[in-house]
Amino acid sequence: MKIPEHGMISLRARHRMVQEQLETQGIQDPRVLAAMREIHRHLFVEEALASRAYSDENLPIGAGQTLSQPLTVARMTQALRLTGNEECLEIGTGSGYQTAILARLCRKVYTIERLTGLADASRKRLRLLGLHNIVCRQGDGSLGWPEERPFDRILVTAGTPVTPENLIRQLGPNGILVAPEGSKNAQNLIRVTRQEDGSIRKETLDPCCFVPLIGAQGWQNEAP
């Protein structure tokens, strides 16, 4: 029997992931589905975890942090309503998987990671993958990236007690921010939209569970 190359296995696994975990769960945006078919999720985790990369689960990425399950990544991305022209700010680079998905779907991604080890590793990984419309930085993303404001989209991939005002202020006209908001153990995905007249509209989307956003405008420390 001929053993298929890993590339083929991964292609099939990605297509199956999209079909079974996303299309059946309300992910309909064709651009989001295409990006999730295209980006190799197994390259964003340790080799020992690669065989689980396309299953419906969170995966550890070191330093007590996690890469969200595919459905959560897809839901957040779909909620941003990206058309391809946006400048997007992401808080919580982690492995860089979500960053890579965003980079396929918008013009430019600015991404901030608090932990130096993860920030360095994801910067290297994204460069090796040839994704050049990404600017990575290490720091406290709860304060946003004031020098580059305003952003068309902001995505927070760590849980916050309340969405930082600093981030909402850095949202441009008709901008959309998506963030997990709630307690340390359970949050709801919320979407904040800056309307034509400058006012803010807030919607509650799906329940979710993220590691905490730790910083000046997030949780103050790592204790439970």
Active site residues: 68
How far lies 219's CA from each of 10, 20, 87, 97, in Å? 37, 35, 26, 24
Q: Which of 82, 106, 158, 171 binds ligand SAH (CB under 6 A)?
A: 158
130's CB contacts (< 8 A; 6+ apart) are none
Q: Which amino acid is at 104?
A: R
* Segment interacting with ligand SAH (CB under 6 A) among 12-20, 21-29, 47-55, 89-97: 89-97
Contact 43, 36 (CB under 8 A): no
Contact 137, 110 (CB under 8 A): yes
Q: Which of 112, 121, 134, 208 binds ligand SAH (CB under 6 A)?
A: 112
111 in contact with ligand SAH (CB under 6 A): no
140 in contact with ligand SAH (CB under 6 A): yes
113 in contact with ligand SAH (CB under 6 A): yes
109 in contact with ligand SAH (CB under 6 A): no
C-beta atoms surrounding 43 within 10 Å: 17
Q: Could you list the residues that contact ligand SAH (CB under 6 A)?
A: 61, 65-68, 91-92, 94-95, 97-98, 112-115, 118, 140-142, 157-158, 211, 213-215, 218
